[in-house]
Chains A and B, each alone.
Chain A
């Protein structure tokens, strides 16, 4: 379960203080597929970075399965990102000179999974996101956008995370591929009981989630 309580993130920009996330609170049950809608610059990505321990909140608590990650030291945050979180980025953020298979194997390597096992599991995950086997060995920078996003989802699933955070996962994809990705995420949430939170400005995507939130001027409201 994900529980966010009164989270604030403050930036200083010259003389001004900016609060892209200002007192956000919500809770998501295990296996929920949720979306946060908001315009560009509304603080969606900032909130996502706080939930994924990419950045630290100025105040407030983020609790994942009863662990308050806001108070974890850096070393444990690394373990949290590795074991409990799966990230899917708008720009995919694959390592360009590694193959699709190697990209999916990376989180498992960091988790200490043996080579044979991680190779096998990475192939299974790529098959699961419907990437054909002939593409497994292809360098990431030679895959299409849709293929790269599928590899990114497979990578996010590598260590069986409790929570998948997706930042505009269909933002750079055509409609057909976007639909495929949405279906894949929903399937993961409902069948694997993985909590999935996507931030998007795509209403079509948000309409297919279990819960919808809106973020405007740092404040979160649920539709």
Chain B
């Protein structure tokens, strides 16, 4: 029997008490670990938000937003002007167009009436479409799509005063012309198979296809489909994370402009600012430079500051709770070990009387405390594993609920997509995130344990052990060997 096994044995001398101590420690350590995990997860979310939308501004034609409104398209000259504005680090122009299914279009028997409804009466989701494609939409129109189509058709029918034969409506496919491997909001396109676009020339035949659209049309990397009369080849399949975006395609910008006869035109500009602190000033400068009557400049997310502020509160709370839980766990170990030392003064005296050095006895008590801490940590880790996600959710919900209502609108990624169709009242536009607040911007926060969390957790546990074991072990040094004769 050595000092280690003796210490382990001593830790279980009073099983009921040790069990109770381990349970209490597990709760405290579990809470500490959960708070640490929450702190790390929220920190990662803040970084992610800042990286994704924090420094971004979106420039749309004045009066136009996501296929609604009007105005004149942006041009390459606008992009050049925007790039010259102070604090702007990059400008990425995109052109979003809607493509109707060519097969459905060929069966059209519409009799257009006069007025605005004329170009809305076509089938296959033809309202607002800028071209045709062989692809079939992966999104079912459903009630909303039919309602939107019905609204636009009614307008056309009544205004034109003639009969319109309406075939089955299908959702148009959104094609986004890009000049880099990023979305209209500046985020990287997440290609799950194949490769990113590499040929951005006007005659390029490369295309990226969303996952659900690819599945619907049985497309794989290397498959072909048509846009207008050009045969495009699938270089990659991307996953945007939602059904709307995954029903879209990415094409080279120049090719999109050529195919849809919109040479030099852009539907939106994504402007990256050098620092999140300069976003507001740059927003004003861009508006001034491009003309307030020509463009609308919106922050990537006006709810961002509110979201970051909310998450900052969560981070602070979780950090304080982490430290408080650690100190609590340390105090639990400290108090229990002080009690153990007091109980075993005579035994310590015996050990000293038969030749044990202070250091040997100190190590024995440190190890005994460590056994309790390790057991508490193991059980606490299980507690943390089950509680960290609910705790994060509760903290985030509690801190974003009050600020969410005050947050401003969030711009969708499809701004300007309806140029080809003009007005239609009921055009299918992407409204995700519109008027959503900080809580929607934050979305869900998933917890995970990375190396940094493990290191910080280990340091925290060592702090507990240090607080809880070293002081009692020092107390054992003060116990005199004569204690052995107490009560004899």
Contacts and interface: CB of A to CB of B under 8 A. Distances in A.
Contacts of B357: 75, 78, 110
A109 B351 CA distance: 11
A98 interface: yes
B168 interface: no
Interface string A81-95: 111000101110101
A106 interface: yes
B30 interface: no
Contacts of A30: none
Interface string A110-130: 110001000000000000000
B480 A95 contact: no
A24 B353 CA distance: 22
Interface in B39-87: none
Contact of B484 (A54, A105, A110): A54
Contacts of B487: 91
Nearest to A118: B1
Given A45-B488, A55-B480, A93-B484, A109 B350 contact: no
B485 to A, nearest CB: 6
Contacts of A52: 353
A97 interface: yes
Of B347, B352, B358, B481, most A-chain CB atoms within 10 Å: B481
Given A55-B480, A87-B353, A167 B485 contact: yes
Interface stretch (B5-13, B138-146, B204-212, B296-304): B5-13
Of B10, B346, B354, B484, most A-chain CB atoms within 10 Å: B354
A105 B357 CA distance: 16
Contacts of A82: 354-356
Given A89-B488, A105-B1, A54 B355 contact: no
B1 A91 contact: no
B287 interface: no
A54 B481 contact: yes
B63 to A, nearest CB: 84
Given A78-B355, A79-B355, A54 B350 contact: no
Given A97-B13, A98-B1, A105-B1, A49 B482 contact: yes
A78 B356 CA distance: 7
A93 B6 contact: no
A102 interface: yes
Interface in B340-397: 346-347, 349-358, 360
Contact of B353 (A45, A79, A81, A168): A81
Contacts of A115: 2
A90 B356 CA distance: 20
A90 B487 CA distance: 10
Given A45-B488, A55-B480, A98-B1, A83 B355 contact: yes
B354 A110 contact: yes
A78 to B, nearest CB: 5
A53 B9 CA distance: 29
Interface in A184-206: none
A78 B357 CA distance: 6
Nearest to B9: A97
A155 interface: yes
A87 B352 CA distance: 11
A103 to B, nearest CB: 9
A82 B356 CA distance: 7
B1 A54 contact: no
Contacts of A155: 354
B481 to A, nearest CB: 4
Contacts, number: 78
Interface string A56-87: 00000000000000000001001101110001
B1 A110 contact: no
B488 to A, nearest CB: 5
B16 to A, nearest CB: 15
Contacts of A168: 488
A81 B351 CA distance: 10
A34 to B, nearest CB: 20
A107 interface: yes
Contact of B488 (A55, A159, A167): A167
B273 to A, nearest CB: 68
Nearest to A93: B350
A13 to B, nearest CB: 16
Interface in A154-173: 155, 159, 167-168
B263 to A, nearest CB: 88
Contacts of B349: 54
A181 B317 CA distance: 67
A91 B346 CA distance: 11
B2 A109 contact: yes
A62 to B, nearest CB: 15
B485 A95 contact: no
B355 A81 contact: yes
Interface string A24-64: 00000000000000000000010001001111000000000
A111 B355 CA distance: 8
A201 to B, nearest CB: 13
A54 B485 contact: yes
B354 A107 contact: yes
Contacts of A102: 1
Contact of B485 (A49, A81, A83, A109): A49
Contacts of B347: 95
Given A91-B488, A95-B347, A81 B482 contact: no
Contacts of A54: 349, 352-353, 480-482, 484-485
Which 3 pairs show the lowest CB-CB distances between chains A and B?
A: A82-B355, A54-B481, A110-B355
Interface of B: 1-3, 6, 9-10, 13, 346-347, 349-358, 360, 480-482, 484-485, 487-488
24 contacts: A45-B488, A49-B482, A49-B485, A54-B480, A54-B482, A55-B480, A79-B355, A81-B354, A81-B481, A82-B354, A87-B353, A87-B354, A89-B484, A89-B485, A90-B488, A93-B484, A95-B347, A106-B354, A106-B356, A107-B354, A107-B355, A109-B3, A110-B357, A111-B355
Given A91-B488, A106-B356, 13 more contacts: A55-B480, A75-B357, A82-B355, A83-B355, A87-B354, A93-B350, A98-B1, A105-B1, A109-B3, A110-B355, A155-B354, A167-B485, A167-B488
Interface of A: 45, 49, 52-55, 75, 78-79, 81-83, 87, 89-91, 93, 95, 97-98, 102, 105-107, 109-111, 115, 155, 159, 167-168
